[in-house]
Amino acid sequence: MEAQPEWEDFIDAEDYLNDEHKFNITHRLVLLFPRIDVDPADGFVSEHELTQWNLEQSQREVLHRTQREMELHDKNKDGLVSFHEYSPPSWVRDTDNNSFGYDMGWWKEEHFNASDADGDGFLNLTEFNDFQHPADTKNPRLIQWLCKEEVRERDTDKDGKVNFKEFFHGLFDLVRNYDEESHNSSHESNNDALESPARKFFAELDKDADG
C-alpha cells in the first residue's frame, strides 16, 4: 500500500485542499456552482441564492438525522411510527406525574397527534420530522400546539393566559426583531428602553385588548 502523505507535505492549506488526490476545491466549486446559481442562472451567485442553498443543505441534513432516529422507533419496519412505538424518555417512564419536568409536552400524545397532519394515527417521515423539530413546521395544528406550550410555560400565575409581565419577561426576546450586535439579553440594565416596544408589540398581539 502506498504511504499516505504526511501533514507536513501540505503545510500550505491551499496546497492541501487543491491536491487532486486529496480534495480539489476548484473541482468541487465547479460542480457546486450551477446547483447554487439557479435564481436566475446568470453566471453569478447572489446572496439570496447562497442563503437558499445553505438552507436546503441544512434541511437535508436534518431530514437525514430524522430518518435515522425514526428507524429506531419504527419497531415493525413499515415506514411509519405509531405513538405506541414511540417510547418516551426513560426519565419520564421512571417518574411520577409530580416530578420536575413531567409536564413538558414535547413527548406527550397531544404533541404526537398535532404532528400527525393526515390524522391516520401514524407519523410518516415528514410528520416525524415535524414531531422532532416542531419549531420548523408549517403544519397549522402543530403551530397551534407550540403556541399552547409557550403559553403554558410562560403562564406563571396559571390563569391560562399570558399577561404583559409574563410576556415581557418570557416571550418578548423570542418574538421581537433586534440587531444581535446591540442586543443585551438581560432586561435588568435596560428595562425602560425595552418596555415601550414590548408594550406596543403586546398590544398588537392582544386582539381583544383584555390585557
Residue 206 within a domain: yes
Residue 186 within a domain: no
Count Cβ atoms within 10 A of the Cβ of residue 170 and give its class: 0-12 exposed, 13-18 middle, 19 or more buried: middle
Q: Which helix (H) or strand (E) holds 122?
A: strand 122-123
Q: What is the mean pLDDT of residues 183-206?
A: 72
**Who contacts 145 (Cβ-Cβ below 8 Å, separation ≥6)?**
105, 110, 111, 114, 134
pLDDT value, residue 98 = 56
Helix ranges, the chain (H)? 13-18, 25-36, 47-73, 90-93, 109-115, 125-132, 140-154, 164-166, 172-175, 191-205
Residue 38 within a domain: no
What whole-number distance in Å separates Cα of residue 82 and Cα of residue 86?
6
> Is the N-terminal amide bond of 40 cis, ω within 30° of 0?
yes
Residue 51 within a domain: no
Domain containing 205 equals 161-178+196-210
C-alpha cell at 70: 425514526
C-alpha cell at 119: 390524522
Which residues are 82's β-sheet partners? 122
C-alpha cell at 140: 397549522
Cα atoms in the 13 Å half-sphere on the side-chain side of 191: 4
- pLDDT per residue over 84-128, tens digit each? 998 766 656 666 655 545 555 667 889 999 999 999 999 999 999
Residue 203 within a domain: yes
Strand duo 122-123 + 81-82: pairing: antiparallel
C-alpha cell at 199: 408594550
Q: Among 29-33, 37-41, 61-65, name the one with the lowest average pLDDT.
A: 29-33
Angle at 126 between CA 144 and CA 116, to 5 degrees: 45
pLDDT value, residue 1 = 46
Residue 201 within a domain: yes
pLDDT value, residue 168 = 87
Task: Look at the chain and report how many structural domains it folds into.
Answer: 1
Residue 104 within a domain: no
C-beta separation of 198 from 168 below 8 A? yes
Residue 111 within a domain: no
Q: What mean pLDDT value characterizes the chain? A: 81
